[in-house]
Amino acid sequence: MKENRTVAIILVVLFMIVSIGGAISSLYAEPEVIAILPFENLHKKPHLEFVKNIVHEKLFTQLSSTDTVPGFIVIGVSSVDDAKKLYEISKGKLPTVILQGEYFMIRDRMALNVSLLSPKDGSRIDGTGELVVYKGHRHPELSGQANFQQSLYEDIQEPLNKLIKGIQELIAKEKN
């Protein structure tokens, strides 16, 4: 009886050691990092510059959420060159992938495109995109540009959510 109790205690202690060891090793595991670049306004029209802030903030906030892209840390970088330098400094460990985006507007449509880039050389790995349909002026209480910005902000939300799902799929595919 005493031997069974001793064996049970030893098994419990071994289980605890293995569990704690696994938890500690996961704390010190190399993180996977998504480096997000500012979106580029390919249209070069100043009245569309605000879009990069909307898109960047939403992507950064959503992808930083622990359940959106599990196991990844999200950082902002200002250029592909900065991401490549970070990759070199970390001896090829960080970032895991670079997220580069661009947008342009033609009449009442805006294209949002995202590419996953290799931090090693900046080459394109894969990409996805969404189309935003500008539905028009819905805020008569606002002046022209403010009305346009508020309307476009509302119109961009659903396509941005779809774009984030596409990014999740691309990252999951790249991870495997």
DSSP string, 25-71: HHHTSPPEEEEEPPPEETT--GGGTHHHHHHHHHHHHHHHSTTTSTT
Element (H, E) at 9: helix 2-27
Residue 97 and residue 113: Cα distance in Å, rounded? Answer: 16
pLDDT for the residue 15: 54
Which tokens belong to 55? 């898109």
Give the per-residue pLDDT at 126: 92
| Confidence at residue 29, expressed as pLDDT on a 0 to 100 scale | 60
Q: Which residue has the tokens 């390919």?
A: 42
Per-residue pLDDT of the chain (176 residues; tens, 9 = 90+): 566 666 456 554 555 565 555 444 444 566 788 889 888 999 888 888 888 888 888 888 888 876 778 878 888 888 888 888 888 888 888 888 889 999 988 888 899 999 999 988 889 999 999 999 888 777 888 888 888 888 888 899 899 989 888 988 888 888 77
**Which residues, at least 6 apart from 122, have a Cβ–Cβ distance to it below 8 Å?**
80, 83, 84, 98
Long-range Cβ contact pairs of 110-118 (< 8 A, separation 24 or more): 110/51, 110/134, 110/152, 110/156, 112/39, 112/55, 112/156, 112/159, 112/160, 112/163, 114/163, 114/166, 114/167, 114/170, 116/167, 116/170, 116/171, 116/174, 117/80, 117/83
Q: What is the pLDDT of residue 125?
A: 92
Q: What is the pLDDT of residue 26?
A: 47
**What is the reported pTM?**
0.73
CATH of 32-175, one of 3.30.160.180, 3.30.360.10, 1.10.150.450, 1.10.510.10: 3.30.160.180
